[in-house]
Structure 1
């Protein structure tokens, strides 16, 4: 009996160690849903919302970084994703006005340890502030999550850079990277968004500078779908389509698979952008 008890005691630290070192798999989606524009005709949100929510459920996303989300669209997604909660505020007033860049997450699996938002401007704490040469107000939503089954924590950032101001794009990249470096210590980080810049641009190169972030698609074991993400509901000629939606990750995150989702349901598009999806492993 004493020998059995001794063996059980020896095994306890191993059980604890295995739990801490287990691989944690997370399915992440970045999705510019296209704001609800009545001029979009057959591409209007009311014709796309069911398809969009079906896609999210089909791919089994655990966390979604979304862009261009108006309050009515936020409510639609909230209703269509049972078991999910969201973090986010409207970019015009820090409440409900204007586009959100929300983070939807599986609340049964993840708990929120910390969260916040800031504006991409010279006064990031002021709601509705517009920065540098930007055409629009731009916001970042961030959170630190704990995976309940494993106890592992990670940070998640989601944003939408300006589509006009080149100075704003570059300064936004500098500000965002600085915020991550200053506030995320000792845990992995995922960054999603519509950055409105192509690969090799100054803003993308800034985000990739140093040894913090890598582009998820560049380290994925499997890459699926086209290299481009913006198509304007199919109106951009194939040869002119570009990648402006990204997912960045830090070490020690492994990317098992990555996809630029170019799908239609009959003649209906998901959005004017491809969602970007990845199966990530926290090691």
Structure 2
């Protein structure tokens, strides 16, 4: 019996090794879930849609959908603090767009600390002087900011370049020049890394703004994740103004763009409610990439 046991040991070791290899392969192949989410700034005039009533729903949605990376827009400092308390497994990157510290809206990035290591990060303003704190660009109505990070996947050791922003809602030149600056900065900072760009672009897919982002004649172009996803779920709109806009007039103005070899497995617009209660005046967008 002892001899038989000794003879079996190599086979058992091989079997265990094979199973371990399969588990590692599954982990290495694990997709990355990316969300873009305009959470709506904390506006006292929003009545029952005010942030105080929504903050738990917003945090729970991020956690429920297992978002590994989240680009958020319109986040004021008190909202950042609320989300940090409710998302202890996430690290945040970003500053207020007015003073480069805590004043004004953040276009903050969030990432799961158990999945990624932050290698580099930063931010710049969408203006003629992107390094000048609080600078307003071109014909823009507001200061606009972009936040970026190089994140190393703990499972694969590979790095992703992620950027998040919110384009101006008024300035035509501000959106056009803002896109050009974003693409230039992605090329400069991201290089050959797989790239993810999230944000509220205040423009529909057929607009000149989005065509500028996805123009294949420009070597710096990106791809709208929805157009290349293996599976698409949900409506074709993201902005609903807490349900007040009729369905036929709602617009898709929130995007996730990809570049440099990322495969988009799933794309969804999460237009759900809890009864009459909304997550935000925008529906978040979620993609799964590999």
TM-score for both structures, normalised by structure 1: 0.91
Unaligned runs of 5+ in 2: 1-9
Q: Deviations over 1:16-74 (max 9, x none)?
A: xx97x943410011000000000000100011111111111111101100000001100
Could you tell me which residue of structure 2 aligns to residue 245 of structure 1?
Answer: 254
Could you tell me which residue of structure 2 aligns to residue 179 of structure 1?
Answer: 185
Could you tell me which residue of structure 2 aligns to residue 41 of structure 1?
Answer: 47
Paired with 2:61 and 2:189, the residues of 1 have a C-alpha distance of: 33
Partner SS for 1:272? coil
Partner SS for 1:150? coil
Paired with 1:253 and 1:162, the residues of 2 have a C-alpha distance of: 28
Instruction: Tell me, yes or no, if structure 1 residue 266 matches structure 2 residue 275.
Output: yes
Paired with 2:190 and 2:276, the residues of 1 have a C-alpha distance of: 43
Could you tell me which residue of structure 2 aligns to residue 128 of structure 1?
Answer: 134
CA contact under 8 A between 2:230 and 2:264: conserved in structure 1?
yes
CA contact under 8 A between 2:120 and 2:150: conserved in structure 1?
yes
Shift of 1:224: 0.7
Paired with 1:24 and 1:97, the residues of 2 have a C-alpha distance of: 37
Paired with 2:209 and 2:248, the residues of 1 have a C-alpha distance of: 23
Could you tell me which residue of structure 1 aligns to residue 31 of structure 2?
Answer: 25
Instruction: Tell me, yes or no, if structure 1 residue 190 matches structure 2 residue 190.
Output: no
CA contact under 8 A between 2:141 and 2:171: conserved in structure 1?
yes
Q: CA RMSD in A?
A: 1.8
Partner SS for 1:205? helix
TM-score for both structures, normalised by structure 2: 0.89
Shift of 1:201: 1.4
Q: How many matched pairs?
A: 267
Paired with 2:69 and 2:78, the residues of 1 have a C-alpha distance of: 20
Paired with 2:259 and 2:232, the residues of 1 have a C-alpha distance of: 18
Paired with 1:31 and 1:103, the residues of 2 have a C-alpha distance of: 10
Paired with 1:258 and 1:29, the residues of 2 have a C-alpha distance of: 10
Equivalence map 1:61-210=2 (5 Å): 61-209=67-215, 210=218
Paired with 1:24 and 1:137, the residues of 2 have a C-alpha distance of: 37
Paired with 2:284 and 2:58, the residues of 1 have a C-alpha distance of: 10
Counterpart selection for 2:224 from 204, 215, 231: 215
Moved over 6 A (4+): none
Paired with 1:226 and 1:77, the residues of 2 have a C-alpha distance of: 27
Return 169-178 or 202-211, whichever deviates more. Answer: 202-211
Could you tell me which residue of structure 2 aligns to residue 278 of structure 1?
Answer: 287
CA contact under 8 A between 2:192 and 2:260: conserved in structure 1?
no
Instruction: Tell me, yes or no, if structure 1 residue 229 matches structure 2 residue 238.
Output: yes
CA contact under 8 A between 1:102 and 1:158: conserved in structure 2?
yes
